[in-house]
Amino acid sequence: MNGWLQMAAVLITALGLVAAAAAWRLTHTVRGGLAVLLDFLTAAGLIRLAGEPSWGSVMLAAAVIALRKLLGASLHVSRPNQTTRGGARPVSAGR
Amino acid sequence: MTLSVELLPESTLRDVIGLLVRLIESAGALIIFIGAVWAFVQFVAAGVRGRGKVAGFNRIRLSLGRFLVLGLEFQLAGDVLRTAVAPSFAEIGQLAAIAAIRTALNYFLGREIAQERAEIERGETAPPAQGGKGLPT
């Protein structure tokens, strides 16, 4: 099963690269493409964690997710014109 | 002296739980894979169509996030099931690390989805003209 999962993870990473290029073309911002790439890398990391993961793959998935959060936070901070009229701030809807 | 009646031998329990964990984790991985492929097709289709569809871009990301969360829920269910049989401390430690990663990611993804949805709704309800206080339809 691990072989299939590894293959699926590599495939998702490759798809993510293409999708990131498409997203960049769509939004004409690096932020959009990077966000999509990080989403796909997260999906690949999660698939790697299924089955019987090694400590290496656990650490890799944790690193990708931490990087994703870090970059996501920095992109969120650098997002232009975040606050809109009427005090519409991002909803912090914790679950 | 203890009188033990083995209705369900531990080895059988391990086998059954192992099979269930595999099934559930495979389902989670399959959901994530399908979501990624679906999002890829949508992104490429939107990219070919051209720019100016940022709302559509956000919707695709939102859907991908939902697929990821659903797959994660399955994988967390597998983790919970796996705790029924954890033979060694090393395995328990690894399980704890994986469950912690998945739980944290589930939480953050849930928050991101809520934020993206709020942004999309704001974009739909707030007209470009002044006095945009329309309620969500």
Q: Is the pLDDT of residue B102 over 70?
A: yes
| pLDDT interval class at B30 (50, 70, 90) | very high
Task: Give the Cα separation of B137 and A57 in Å (integer).
Answer: 45
The residue ranges of every structural domain in chain B are 15-123
**Per-residue pLDDT in tens (0 to 9) along chain A, 95 residues:** 678 888 998 999 999 999 999 888 888 888 888 888 888 988 988 888 887 777 787 787 788 778 877 877 777 666 555 444 444 444 444 33
pTM above 0.95, yes or no: no
Mean pLDDT of B11-39: 91
User: What is the pLDDT, as a whole number, of residue B126?
Assistant: 65
Residue type, B105: L
The residues near B123 (Cβ < 8 Å, ≥ 6 apart) are B55
| ipTM computed for the complex | 0.74
User: What is the pLDDT, as a whole number, of residue B33?
Assistant: 94
What is the chain A residue with the closest CA to B104?
A65
CB contact under 8 A, B68 and A39: yes
CB contact under 8 A, B47 and A22: yes
User: What is the pLDDT, as a whole number, of residue B13?
Assistant: 83
Residue A16 C-alpha, separation from nearest chain B C-alpha, in angstroms = 7
Of A28, A42, A93, the CB nearest to B111: A93
- Residue linked to tokens 């498409």: A22
- Give the pLDDT confidence of B49-101 residue by residue, as tens digits: 765 566 678 888 889 988 998 998 898 888 888 888 766 787 788 788 888 88
What is the chain B residue with the closest CA to A49?
B98
- The answer for B 84-123 residues in CB contact with A (under 8 A) is 94, 97-98, 101-102, 104-105, 107-108, 110-112, 114-115, 118-119, 122
User: What is the pLDDT, as a whole number, of residue B54?
Assistant: 67
Helices (H), chain A: 2-27, 30-49, 55-77
Answer for the pair A45, A64: CB distance below 8 angstroms, yes or no: yes
Answer for the pair B65, A40: CB distance below 8 angstroms, yes or no: no
CB contact under 8 A, A19 and B110: no
Task: Give the Cα separation of A95 and B89 in Å (integer).
Answer: 31
B89 or B35: which carries more pLDDT confidence?
Answer: B35
Task: Give the Cα separation of A49 and A5 in Å (integer).
Answer: 9
Residue B99, token pair as written in the block: 């469950």
Task: Give the Cα separation of A17 and B85 in Å (integer).
Answer: 39
Answer for the pair B90, A41: CB distance below 8 angstroms, yes or no: no
